[in-house]
Amino acid sequence: MFLTWADLQRADLRGADLRGTILNSASLHLAILDGADLGPASLHGADLRGARLSRTNLAGAMLEGADLRGAIGLTAEQLSPALIDASTQLSPDLANDPWVVARLRDCEKYLASPARKPWGCPTATQRPTS
């Protein structure tokens, strides 16, 4: 499904199957995505500020440039299999979480690799032990 630039502000998408959906630059500001499946979906530059993301599957989701500041229920574990980069905007607590920092490092290395697949994501980053 192609929903590039879609205005889905405040949309109730609880439990929605959005696997493979292209939501580049879509506005999901304050949307309810609890339990939705966004893996793998393309959310380059999407506005997810204040969105509810409890139990949302982000495995393989491409979140480069996405704005996730103030997202409710978003965890480092959910981000560990997603594609993020330096332009992905996160709340300070998530941005400084050691697991997210490790994930960002893994993703940056993947994005710089000449073997990178155009629609791909590195394997999930394991939780750091210390």
> Mean pLDDT over residues 44-48, rounded?
98
Q: Token pair 């210390």 is at which residue?
A: 130
Q: What is the pLDDT of residues 73-84, one digit of tens each?
A: 999 999 999 999
Q: Write down the pTM of the prediction.
A: 0.93
> Mean pLDDT over residues 21-47, rounded?
97
The percentage of the chain sitting over the pLDDT mark of 70, rounded to a whole number, equals: 99
98 vs 118, residue with greater confidence: 98
Question: What's the mean per-residue pLDDT of the chain?
Answer: 96
Asked whether the predicted pLDDT for residue 130 surpasses 70, the reply is: no
Least confident of 13-27, 63-77, 80-94, 103-117: 103-117
